[in-house]
Chains A and B, each alone.
Chain A
Amino acid sequence: KNEVEQSPQNLTAQEGEFITINCSYSVGISALHWLQQHPGGGIVSLFMLSSGKKKHGRLIATINIQEKHSSLHITASHPRDSAVYICAVLLNTGNQFYFGTGTSLTVIP
């Protein structure tokens, strides 16, 4: 059972490209969390969303509650953006986050 599906699993882009990573979920949620896992393994929280859109630098996260879908966009991608991006959801009925398996992004110079 996987409450969270991410696509694509792997993504390779040229430096400067606009990147979109998708996250879909099948149940009602109260919050959605985007995280970044660096090649060395460290994990950083990027965004918490319950509605609408958030922007931080070149990263933009959107969520459509009705369609049960969220996207993470990276504008003007750079090799330092190479990482695994992970989506996690907090179910309406639960008290813990459920994590997707991640999207592995490689940005080539």
Chain B
Amino acid sequence: NAGVTQTPKFQVLKTGQSMTLQCAQDMNHNSMYWYRQDPGMGLRLIYYSASEGTTDKGEVPNGYNVSRLNKREFSLRLESAAPSQTSVYFCASSERWETAVYYGYTFGSGTRLTVV
């Protein structure tokens, strides 16, 4: 029962470095999401992919890019990391964008990223 797998679990970057956070799901879900979680704030949507081949901006997309590589995989890229991007990042998936309203999401275990 892998569900949603995120890698890495922890990462420290220097300001200006780039990196890609990987996410893969094995539930044949159509929709995938990237969130960030910061102290004192709720989860905020960065980007989502309603279906394979499509991606859309969420609430806080600046400084990030995404790729829906195939139905299973949805990666998040930081091209030039900044200290403001220090956060915990969660990937999630749902059967369909529409059915998330009824059945909710499956979340990965998170990536704790620190930018120094």
CA–CA, A98 and B90, complex, Å: 15
Q: Is the CB of B41 within 8 A of A96?
A: no
Q: Which A residues are CB-close (under 8 A) to B59?
A: 96, 98
With contact pairs A41-B88, A45-B104 given, residues A102 and B42 touching in the complex (Cβ less than 8 Å): yes
Q: Which residues of A contact B90 (CB under 8 A)?
A: 43
Residues of A14-64 contacting chain B, CB below 8 A: 30-31, 33, 35, 40-48, 50
**How far is B44's CA from A47's CA once the two chains are assembled, in angstroms?**
19
Q: How many residue pairs bridge A and B at CB < 8 Å?
A: 54
Closest to B59 in A: A96
Smallest beta-carbon distance B70→chain A, Å:
23
Give per-residue flags for B83-101: 1 if the beta carbon is below 8 A from chain A beta carbons, else 0: 0000010101000010011
CA distance A107 to B13 in the complex (A): 37
Decide yes or no whether A72 CB sits under 8 A from chain B.
no
**A43, A86, A88, A100: residue with the most chain B Cβ atoms closer than 10 Å:** A43
Whether B45 lies near A96 (C-beta < 8 A) is: yes
Query: Within the complex, what minimum Cβ distance (angstroms) separates A43 from chain B?
Result: 4
Q: Which A residues are closer than 8 A to B by beta carbons?
A: 2, 4, 30-31, 33, 35, 40-48, 50, 86, 88, 90, 95-102
